[in-house]
Amino acid sequence: MLESVEWGEYRLGDLFEIENTFSFNKDALTPGNDYDYVTRTSQNQGILQSTGFVNYENINDAGTWSLGLLQMDFFYRRKQWYAGQFVRKIVPKICLTDSRISFFSTILNKQKQVLSSVLVRDVDEVFRNITCLLPTRDDEIDYEFMERFIAELNAQRLAELNAYLSVTGLKDYTLTPEEEQAVKDFEEGKVEWDEYRLGDLFEIRPTKAYKYTNRDLFSFSGDTPVVTNTSLNNGISGTVGLDPTEAGGIITYSDTTTSDAIFYQPYPFVGYSHIQGLYPKNREWRKNALLYVVVSFRKSSNGLFDYGNKFNRAIASDMSVVLPTREGEIDFVCMETLISAIQKLVIKDVVLYADREIEATKNVIDKTSKSNSI
């Protein structure tokens, strides 16, 4: 498809305007979810948090992009928003559709390297004079190609998602009678709870591959995950061609970061510095029950630890988690059933989304194909 398209050179300043935003600090925010408060963070589409109405003067329109002047990330804004410091607003001069938004978001984010190399005071002028290649037809931007190209990409990704859901059995989101009862009991407060000391349930010890330094670890190319202190991607920062240090089926946490770095690790992996493992002392601990502990462990440790206040093994062992109990014992059946029900309730939205988007994408492809054949 890309082989047959013609390309033309266009100046960003002819397609978009870059403008300052009137910023304020987050202490001015109000309760509510009507507006996004956008900062220069690269996470969560640049949104630090939601806010209620603050004032009219600082509101930025939906239908624009925000540009954080730290990592130079462009994020399209679908609702009105307020800005923190060092955020620009990119206002389109062209007509946009969802497909065009996706296409131009990619074009804009390809400029990160150029914009990151200049002083903040020069960003506006440099941005306006950047040129980019766009599909062209009869000396005009070929928007029909953009629509068709994005639609076909979406169709490919949705087909992969649909196949994954089918192969893994996740398309079946119907709750069993036991799962329905577990959800009902939870919502009606009929579940009994008790506190359990982590050190009584798990042996806590390091997972690190001491044979290698951290610097050398990633020099071995391969497929074994490496679990580090990142709070992203289930704690996995990359893969290496080494034998795993752990067999998987355990909980990991970083003793130098926050509770966001607590994860269940289903597969064998290599441990990194400061990654501790929770090894079950009881064989009854299966995946869903361990996922339940992850949630309770995160809640117990939330806000207590950071790099300056390390989360060592002794502290973790003495911490308590709140778990379902029955007749004075941990109710493993309740945990397993409730987590299974929650997973189905969550995946139901994904399955319905995939089905809905597949149908919509087919319509777009059919429409653009007919238009192109005229």
> What local confidence, expressed as pLDDT, does residue 163 receive?
85
Answer whether 0.75 is exceeded by the pTM. Answer: no
Non-local (6+) Cβ contacts of 333 within 8 A are: none
> What local confidence, expressed as pLDDT, does residue 306 receive?
58
Distance of alpha carbon 98 from the chain centroid: 21
> What local confidence, expressed as pLDDT, does residue 303 receive?
67
How is 118-157 classified by DSSP, letter by letter? S-GGGHHHHHHH-EEEEEEETTEE-HHHHHHHHHHHHHHH
> What local confidence, expressed as pLDDT, does residue 365 receive?
60
> What local confidence, expressed as pLDDT, does residue 86 receive?
93
- The answer to whether the CB of 240 falls within 8 A of the CB of 221 is yes
For the chain, which residues make up each domain, given as ranges? 2-141, 156-173+336-373, 192-330
Alpha-carbon distance 262 to 253, whole Å? Answer: 4
> What local confidence, expressed as pLDDT, does residue 151 receive?
86
Q: Do domains 2-141 and 192-330 have the same CATH topology?
A: yes
Print pLDDT tens along the chain (374 aa). 666 789 999 999 999 999 999 999 989 999 999 999 999 888 889 999 999 999 999 999 999 999 999 889 999 999 999 999 999 999 999 999 999 999 999 999 999 999 999 999 999 999 999 999 999 999 999 999 999 899 888 888 888 888 887 887 777 888 999 999 999 999 999 999 999 999 999 999 998 766 666 666 777 778 899 998 888 889 898 888 888 989 899 999 988 766 678 999 999 999 988 899 999 998 789 999 999 999 999 888 876 765 566 678 888 899 999 999 999 999 999 999 999 999 888 888 888 887 777 776 666 666 655 555 54
Element at 240 (helix H, strand E)? strand 236-240
> What local confidence, expressed as pLDDT, does residue 352 receive?
84
Strands of 69-223 (E only): list them: 73-77, 81-83, 87-92, 131-137, 140-141, 193-197, 202-206
**What is the third-level CATH fold of 2-141?**
Adenine-n6-DNA-methyltransferase TaqI; Chain A, domain 2 (3.90.220)
> What local confidence, expressed as pLDDT, does residue 39 receive?
93
- The answer to whether the CB of 65 falls within 8 A of the CB of 46 is no
Q: Which CATH class is domain 192-330?
A: alpha beta
Sheet holding 6-11, edge to edge: 6-11, 131-137, 140-141
In terms of C-beta density within 10 A (0-12 exposed, 13-18 middle, 19 or more buried), how is residue 111 classed? middle
Q: Return the biggest CA–CA distance within the chain.
A: 77
